[in-house]
């Protein structure tokens, strides 16, 4: 008998998320890619979106080595129309979305009084409005399914202020508040809303970065936290997870 590769063996046996469909925004690179790969490794069908078609294709190709159910779509998650098309395409091709990871985000830093209205709108729309739009688009289906997981990737900047972080902190504090209220609104429907707050992560993200990248978190650390959230027993949920580097940079 021919030897079964680890990848094919995983697909044959399935996994703890074998009957789940996950949507990861900002899933073509960095933290989003690591999360998408982890969910696929656990057996879920995975849809990813972003703006860079080349990166999306590259990540989708990697995902197909782990799961047969993959969808990528270029989308602007600050646009309700784009979000609607993304969710519709995902559910048509892969099935009802049971896991949503709101990961799309940007960072623009500097003193708030020197920032423009356009910069404010860009940061708040990408980091906060998108969470509202995409979550709103999937909730009705999750209610019909009788449950689901919405995981919002925030930041320790959603708990702590720092000089030059006005726009970014405002967006992430907003994510914290929105997530907490959504959790209360949806828990009776069996929908778990969790927020994950990483510290400095060594990715392409244009944030403040870490003084020593060797001591920074890795994208895989955040993916591990997502795995812990979705694998909680049905009667419980992690409402908020903080992730810090072991050693300060």
Segments of the chain assigned E as strands: 21-25, 45-50, 70-74, 99-102, 148-153, 191-198, 240-243
* DSSP code at position 129: I
Rounded distance between C-alpha atoms, residue 152 and residue 243, angstroms: 14
Catalytic residue among 109, 132, 168, 173: 168
Does residue 168 have an active-site annotation? yes
- Do residues 155 and 170 make contact, with C-beta atoms less than 8 angstroms apart? no
Please answer whether residues 123 and 166 qualify as being in contact, where contact means their C-beta atoms are separated by less than 8 angstroms. no
In whole angstroms, give the CA distance from residue 201 to residue 195: 16
- Where in the sequence numbering do the catalytic residues fall? 168
């Amino acid at each position: 008998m021919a030897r079964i590769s680890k990848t094919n063996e995983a697909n044959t046996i399935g996994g703890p998320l074998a009957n789940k469909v996950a949507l990861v925004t900002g899933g073509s690179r960095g933290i989003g890619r690591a999360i998408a790969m982890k969910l696929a490794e656990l057996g879920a069908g995975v849809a990813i979106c972003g703006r860079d078609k080349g990166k999306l294709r590259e990540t989708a190709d990697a995902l197909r080595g782990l799961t047969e159910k993959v969808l990528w779509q270029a989308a602007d998650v600050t646009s309700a129309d784009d979000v609607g098309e993304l969710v519709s395409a995902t559910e048509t091709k892969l099935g009802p979305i049971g896991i949503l990871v709101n990961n799309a985000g940007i960072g623009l830093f500097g003193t708030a009084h020197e920032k423009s209205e356009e910069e404010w709108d860009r940061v708040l729309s990408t980091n906060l409005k998108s969470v509202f739009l995409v979550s709103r688009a999937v909730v009705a289906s999750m209610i019909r399914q009788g449950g689901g997981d919405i995981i919002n990737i925030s930041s320790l900047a959603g708990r702590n202020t720092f000089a030059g972080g006005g726009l970014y902190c405002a967006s992430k504090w907003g994510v914290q508040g929105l997530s907490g209220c959504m959790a209360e609104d949806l828990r009776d429907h069996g929908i778990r809303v969790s927020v994950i707050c990483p510290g400095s992560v060594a990715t392409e993200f244009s944030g403040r970065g870490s003084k020593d990248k060797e001591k920074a978190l890795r994208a895989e650390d955040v993916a591990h936290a997502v795995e812990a959230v979705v694998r909680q027993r049905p009667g419980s949920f992690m409402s908020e997870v903080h992730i810090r580097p072991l050693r300060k940079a």
